[in-house]
Chains A and B, each alone.
Chain A
Amino acid sequence: MNNLLAVDAEGVTKTFGSVLAVDDITVRVAAGEVYGVLGPNGAGKTTFLRMLFGLIRPDSGTVRIFGRTWDEVGVGVLDGVAGFIESPKFYPDRTGRQNLAGLALLDGGTRPGLLEEVLEIVDLTDRADRKVGGYSYGMRQRLGVAASLLREPRLLVLDEPANGLDPAGIRDMRALVKRLAGSGLTVLLSSHHMEEVEEICDNVTIMSRGAVAFHGTIAELRRMAPDPGHVLATTDDARALAVAADHPEVTVAPDADGALVVTGPRPAVSAYVAGLVRADVELLGFTLTQTPLEALFFMLTDDFDHQTLVRPVREVALR
């Protein structure tokens, strides 16, 4: 059974001094799956991915990649695995092409023409002969993807590939990852953006403070998501609150800034808005505060809810 899994990490723990970076986590990624690891900065995502690549040794637990462990086969465990951790780094005084050629050497060579192919995929052909030191952040990210594809991997591990990019860069990177995910690769994508993972992934693990806070499908996650919240701006907030009394399924309460926040099932919220119009309350604004999945993400990962919410979810959702 284990051999069918691209990643089978079981009971993995890692501490740095007194800091518990990864706390007894279990993550299983099936071959062909597009899998997301979500969590805020410092949740332990990157430490976990570093352990996959053997950059960090776990204190306890087992990490199997396509059924093999580091202890069994050493660096051979990375056969068919590629990716990058945090922002990919290259030799700045060498060109993009020279960097890729050098990395290909460390892989024992590549088939003819592959280097040009991967440069084409990441749209760096025209800039491949410029020194990497002059690359923008986004270009280095794309070169990182190219360096990964050079290994013709079965498992592609990408750690926050859109992190630090401008909006256009984020759009391009997400499109690229989506294209790669659609090509049949097993993709393990780490992110702290719910929308990024929601758009691409089949399954997701949400990490918080080193531990697994949720593990399941995106559909399961959606079912757990709270009602969406909207910030309501009106000409008469007192009447808006009074109208809310007629809509018991909707909660209307001022937030810390005094703005009214409306929470409830979508049909009930629609009915409440219609009620405001009937009561001649002028709507100046009605803005979604966060998507339901984002709200759930924050609930799962915020320190505030950690002790009360995460543990039961974890017990139910771990598989």
Chain B
Amino acid sequence: MSAARPGVVSALRWELRKLRAQHRARVVLLAALLAPVPIVVIIHGQSRPPKDTLFGRFAPDNGFALALLVLGFASQWVLPLLVAIVAGDVFASEDQHGTWKTVLTRSTSRGQIFVAKTLTAGGFAVVMLALLAASTIASSYLIVGHQPLTGLSGQVIGSHTALSLVAASWATMLPPTLGFAALAILLSVWSRNPAVGIAAPVVLGLVMGLVGALGGVEAIRPLLLTTSFEAWHGLLTQPRFTGPLVDGLLVCGGWSILSLGAAYVLLRRRDITGG
């Protein structure tokens, strides 16, 4: 007999062990840590800055602007992709290996395994975002400099405040990133296919971005996950406004609850016939 009734913690430890051993996950974290450095160096060395991009005009000469330029780029498809590499695979990989019957014939329930996998994917998203943000901000700060930042309303923001606002802007990526993680989890459970779990959130993100850019969709736009990626703009205006942040938090929460709820129901009801 088992030494003790296992719970979510036991399942979580197993998921984390698997994640640590996963080459793909290690590459993503390493890329989040190291990739910003050459990107910052390249943009810093450019004689013709990307003027048509938010903060692009100031990016080569201002570390804060450059960190925000990278943020704008990352939110288009990079974050959904990086988060989906784990979240879109975490359930479907059991189908790929045929291991559902292996784990579900032990002493851990479907619910506990669902929670453990969701926490693993969510935790990975947080760590990945933290590494990407810290690396981007630190490399921009150290390589390009920490001159005062010109805000979106043309106001000049002192270095100390700018650093806080840039960090806060990156932090606002967390709700939509977790929202995409939840969406990837749903697609992973539904499709039982890691390729769909990883690629589909990115495609859906691009479609949402496209829909959000169209005219005449004002009613839909606030409900899109991608709209929350732009909520940080309000932090860089004078006066600041945080309404989109609150709205984004609610929308991302809604997406997450619906996606995870649907994924849980699908997994609970599923007959494990394969493998």
Determine whether B103 belongs to the interface, using a CB cutoff of 8 Å to chain A.
Answer: yes
Are B21's CB and A93's CB within 8 A?
A: yes
Binds A, one of B93-101, B193-201, B238-246, B257-265: B93-101
Question: Contact: A89 with B105, CB < 8 Å?
Answer: no
Q: Which A residues are CB-close (under 8 A) to B214? A: none
User: 8 Å CB contacts to A: which residues of B258-275?
Assistant: 271-273, 275
Chain A residues with CB below 8 A from B275, complex form:
86, 89
State whether the Cβ of B109 lies closer than 8 Å to any Cβ in chain A.
yes
Q: Are A109 and B105 in contact (CB under 8 A)?
A: no
Would A89 and B101 count as touching, CB distance under 8 A?
A: yes
Q: If A94-B21, A108-B5 touch, does A56 touch B13 (CB 8 Å cutoff)?
A: no
The number of inter-chain residue pairs (CB within 8 angstroms) is 115
Q: Tell me whether B273 and A106 are in contact (CB under 8 A).
A: no
What is the CB-to-nearest-CB distance from B194 to chain A, in angstroms, rounded to a whole number? Answer: 14
Write out the residue numbers on chain A whose beta carbons fall within 8 Å of the beta carbon of B6: 105-109
Contacts A75-B107, A93-B21, A94-B18; A106 near B11 (Cβ below 8 A):
yes
Q: Is B46 an interface residue (CB 8 A)?
A: no
Interface residues on B, range: 20 to 34
Cβ–Cβ contact A92 & B107, under 8 A: no
In the assembled complex, which residues on chain A have CB atoms less than 8 Å from the CB atom of B10?
105-109
Checking B13, B97, B110 against A91 with a beta-carbon cut-off of 8 angstroms, the contacting residue is: B97
Q: Which residues of B contact A85 (CB under 8 A)?
A: 101, 105
The answer to whether B21 touches A107, judged by C-beta atoms less than 8 angstroms apart, is no
Mind listing 8 A-B residue pairs with CB under 8 Å? A16-B273, A55-B104, A55-B105, A74-B109, A84-B102, A86-B275, A88-B102, A93-B22
B residues lining the A interface (CB < 8 Å) = 1-7, 10-11, 13-14, 17-18, 21-23, 97-110, 271-273, 275
Q: What residues of chain A have their CB less than 8 Å away from a CB belonging to chain B?
A: 16, 47, 50, 53-57, 74-76, 78-80, 82-86, 88-94, 98, 102-103, 105-111, 147, 151-152
